[in-house]
Amino acid sequence: MSLISLSPRGLWPVCLLTALLPVTTASAQGARSCPGPQAATGAEEAYPEGLAAAARPQQVGQPATDIHGIDAGGAGINLARFKGKVILLDVSAMWCAFCKQDAGPIQYLYQTYGPKGLAVLTCLTEDVNGAAVGQSGLQQWSSTYHLTLPVMNDASGTWNGVAESVYVQATGGFPTLVLIDKAFNVQYLRGGLVMPEVTAMIEKLLAQ
């Protein structure tokens, strides 16, 4: 028995949950195609080094790639401002069923480990129609799932924007969960929230 969430761009299985088999790899979350960039206004200013230079698939053990955008209040925000802390980055899409299911558990991780030094950030790259997320979408997501953690968009856009090209393409689907150590290096990267893995890695990184 399988449950599939389809991208609003077409009949592409993006988030896949197979009830009879354990999810052991990122590919089990569903592969995704990225036809071409859909850069948002202001992308060049947010990424002065150029989008092509910024958008290389992320690897574990390598420095994390920065993401720039706005938060639900409309203020500028970027991933690197949390450098020096352990960071849990959740890259999600508003149309993704599993992203919706994981919003509550991610808030729980924020409430549980935030006081211990964990920074948690959700980056929404696509709205329910597959378009770039604006401030109203960020506010809606935060309100719907009662989030107090920071929620941001990606100024570089959707399909081939930095968050999707770097992080989502590395795992194959939404949501993509990333754990970054205090030196801003990626130590964990996979598609889908696996709570025992994530909590164990959070505790390990916080203890370092």
Q: Is the pLDDT of residue 170 over 70?
A: yes
- Residues near 156 by beta carbon (within 8 Å), at least 6 away in sequence: 37, 39, 40, 43, 46, 47, 51, 54, 55, 67, 68, 162, 163
Q: Average the pLDDT over 30-59 and give the result.
A: 44
**83-135 pLDDT per residue, tens:** 999 999 999 999 999 999 999 999 999 999 999 999 999 999 999 999 999 99
Per the model's pLDDT, the better-predicted residue between 31 and 170 turns out to be 170
Domains of the chain by start residue, with CATH: 45-207 (3.40.30.10)
- Residues near 177 by beta carbon (within 8 Å), at least 6 away in sequence: 88, 89, 90, 188, 189, 190, 191, 192, 193, 198
**180-207 pLDDT per residue, tens:** 999 999 999 999 999 999 999 999 999 9
Per the model's pLDDT, the better-predicted residue between 84 and 54 turns out to be 84
Q: Is the pLDDT of residue 7 over 90?
A: no
How far is residue 3 CA from its own chain's centroid?
21
Q: Average the pLDDT over 1-23 and give the result.
A: 36
Using CB atoms within 10 A of its CB, is residue 171 exposed (0-12), middle (13-18) or buried (19+)?
Answer: buried
Q: Is the pLDDT of residue 81 over 70?
A: yes
For the chain, the residue count is 208
- Residues near 175 by beta carbon (within 8 Å), at least 6 away in sequence: 90, 91, 92, 93, 96, 98, 99, 102, 191, 192, 193
